[in-house]
Amino acid sequence: MFKEALEMYYQALQKKPGKAELKIALNRTGQIYYEDLATEVKNSFNRGEYKETVYYYMEAADLISKFKRAGINLKPDQAADRYFGDAKDYYLDDRYNLGLKHITDQEFNEAKAVFNEIFNIDPDFKDTRTYLNEATFEPIYRQGNQYFVDGRYMDAYNNWERIYQQEKNYKDTRDRMDQALNERYKEGTLLLMNEDFNDAALALGQVYNANPNFKDVKTQYIEARNEPIYRQAKLNMKDGKCRTAYFDFERIIDDARTYKDTKDLKGRALACAEYPVAIFSQNPRQYSSEAGQFENATIKSLVNKNNIFLKVFDLTSLNSRLESRLMNSAGNIDEVALRTLNRDNNIKAVLIITYDNFKKNDGKLEKDEMTGFERIVTKTTDGVTRVYDKRITYFEYKQKNEMALTVQYKLISTSNGEILLSNSYSGSKKDEIKYATYSGDQNQVYPAKSVNGTWNIDESGYRSLQSLLRSDKDISSIESLQKSLFNELSDDIAGDINKFNPEK
């Protein structure tokens, strides 16, 4: 079992290339197996079995190459070379003639297998390469011809392009590819003339993807893609749907950069789609300052949304005369004031904010005097440890700041008083601290408890008191809590307004 043995030696040598005994064993085993193959070459030739001669020889040649890569040179048999040379001519002549018959009978798959075998044995045998190409490519070429006749021009192109990628000089493949593209191009052009934009874009896009430089296909492909969008955008502008038109024009610019007067129309659509909104805050008298701050926070949140259509105005700054008329004490809206805003200030809507459940508790720091014990540990000169619990006074502090608010809003059209949006948001913020202080050794402080009028050390409360002594003494100010709450609620309102599309 020399073949199996040499494979095992070979694998072992790959893992341990420096082991000399493995190399010697592999050399000896490989040479024996090679000589067996050389004997088979001679015997099969003498029996007239030329195929076996060829393949035994090729196996032997592969073995020599494999061993050479491992640094082992097997001793070749010169006679085997002669037997192979003669057997190869006999065998390949026979296979060559069979391949020609398959070609003549148009049995291309069978011919391909035959000529591929010849090519693997001797690539330069006669004109094997030519016939191998014919057997490989002719069925694909002919199928392309049939696709072309059936009007499936891109299928035809793809078939011929497969051939061209492997063999550029096979027949007139390059010309046939151009013919297929030209026919599909003509179809796309006719579809475009008939304003069948979707099918035109499909046809022209196929040509463009195959060859972007084919005639003027790029220009026509751009037109097929964008002309229907362009026309619809102009109709939307005419119907007052300027925001929709703006995005359509932007799509065209992203796709084509320049197309007709799209850039100019996009600018006009933006101007048309601008949506000026005035903010009116119904300020309660008891916390009018806070209401003003919330209104400012809302304006800031709206501005930070970077909505290109939304324009935000403070009603007081815009038209102070209308501020007192816009809403009466009962909460009713003056539609005359709304229309005045629309006519004189071009305001499309008013955002009215009202407040409820406002709670603001700016807590005071409370201080309590507490009784406790400080445990004092000493050692006498003779090494005896003594514990003494000294009654002391420490202080506990606590404070709580909290904010709560419910805001309601309505977005009202100035043209007809319609409520376009409305919602309410509630929130609260609070922070509290509780800590203790002691001027002595804090680590030895214990709380005290009174039992029958006598103070005793409370060892079970040690951990709780130690936690208080190490607690944070900083508390969020009522101003910071208010700012955080206002930012959250105003951002909720701004999110609703930002998503609102008046064209839907």
Interval 129-174: pLDDT, tens: 999 999 999 999 999 999 999 999 999 999 999 999 999 999 999 9
Question: What is the pLDDT, as a whole number, of residue 46?
Answer: 92
Instruction: Write out the two tokens for 311.
Output: 């324009």
Give the helix, strand, coil percentages of the chain, each rounded to 5. Answer: 60, 20, 20
Question: What is the pLDDT, as a whole number, of residue 328?
Answer: 64
> Mean of the pLDDT values across residues 258-266?
95
The pLDDT-based confidence of 77 (bands split at 50, 70, 90) is: confident
Burial (0-12, 13-18, 19+ Cβ within 10 Å), 298? buried
Q: Cα separation of 157 and 210, whole Å?
A: 9
Question: What is the pLDDT, as a whole number, of residue 370?
Answer: 96
Between β-strands 419-437 and 385-413, what pairing exists: parallel, antiparallel or unpaired? antiparallel
With contact defined as beta carbons under 8 Å apart, do 249 and 265 qualify? Answer: yes
The dihedral built from the CA positions of residue 142, 146, 147 and 148, taken in this order, carries a sign that is positive
> Mean of the pLDDT values across residues 458-473?
95
* Paired residues of 447 in beta bridges: 372
Q: Is the pLDDT of residue 80 over 70?
A: yes
For residue 338, the Cα-to-chain-centroid distance in whole angstroms is 46
Question: What is the pLDDT, as a whole number, of residue 482?
Answer: 95
- 433 phi/psi in degrees, rounded to 5: -130, 150
More confidently predicted of 321 and 168:
168
Length of the chain as a residue count:
504
The pLDDT-based confidence of 497 (bands split at 50, 70, 90) is: very high
Q: Cα separation of 39 and 57, whole Å?
A: 10
Query: How high does pLDDT run on average in the chain?
Result: 91
Q: Is the pLDDT of residue 306 over 80?
A: yes
Question: What is the pLDDT, as a whole number, of residue 10?
Answer: 73
> Mean of the pLDDT values across residues 106-118?
94
Burial (0-12, 13-18, 19+ Cβ within 10 Å), 304? exposed
Question: What is the pLDDT, as a whole number, of residue 330?
Answer: 57
Question: What is the pLDDT, as a whole number, of residue 198?
Answer: 96
Q: Cα separation of 223 and 348, whole Å?
A: 36
Question: What is the pLDDT, as a whole number, of residue 317?
Answer: 81
The dihedral built from the CA positions of residue 441, 443, 444 and 450, taken in this order, carries a sign that is positive
Interval 379-392: pLDDT, tens: 887 878 888 999 99
For residue 382, the Cα-to-chain-centroid distance in whole angstroms is 77
